[in-house]
Amino acid sequence: MYIPRDPDFMAERAQYALRHCCEDCVFFRAAEQPKQGSSERALPTAAHHCVHGWPNAEHLQAHYDGAPDLLVFCKEFEIP
pLDDT at position 17 is 93
In tens, the pLDDT along 15-58 reads 999 999 999 999 998 766 555 665 555 444 557 889 998 888 89
pLDDT at position 26 is 93
Q: Is the pTM of this model over 0.75?
A: no
How far is it, in rounded angstroms, from Cα 5 to Cα 41?
42
> Checking DSSP bridges between strand 28-30 and strand 48-50, what pairing results, if any?
antiparallel
Q: Which of 11-36 are b and which e, b meaning 16 or more Cβ less than 10 Å from the residue's Cβ? A: eeeeeeeeebbbeebebbeeeeeeee
Closest C-alpha to 51, from 24, 25, 21, 80: 25
